[in-house]
Amino acid sequence: MGKKVNHTTLTIEPKIITVEDKDEINNRIGLYFKELREVRGMSQHDLGVAIGLSDEIAQQHIYKYEKGIIRIPTDIAVKISKALNVDLIFKGDKIILIPR
């Protein structure tokens, strides 16, 4: 049986990710999106549908983004950020994520 989480008491801190390795950046962004999604109480499927993916692939694609299995295209990262209510800022070689 799954552990019940009180989402109102959880907070996620802003995160700065330095772009050094293209594979590592996807892993780090995916993990951060996963943390935010869980705090927001959204399933992978619901997030996928919220960003415009079809019912058939929504959960699978979000899972792959979160695990760093597939690259998160910039337009999808922006859509995920909007759905999770987080500011996504690209500044030089850094990506800054600030939850609202």
What confidence tens digit (pLDDT) does each residue in 69-90 have?
A: 999 999 999 999 999 999 999 8
CA dihedral 56, 59, 63, 64 (to 10 degrees): 20
Architecture of the domain spanning 21-83:
Orthogonal Bundle (1.10)
d(CA 54, CA 62): 12
Domain boundaries, the chain: 21-83
Give the C-alpha distances (Å, rounded to integers) separating 70 from 7, 48, 65: 28, 14, 6
pTM given for the model = 0.79
What confidence tens digit (pLDDT) does each residue in 11-67 have?
A: 677 777 776 766 677 888 899 999 999 999 999 999 999 999 999 999 999 999 999
Taken in order 92, 28, 74, 11, the sign of the CA dihedral is negative
| Side chain identity at residue 29, one-letter code | I
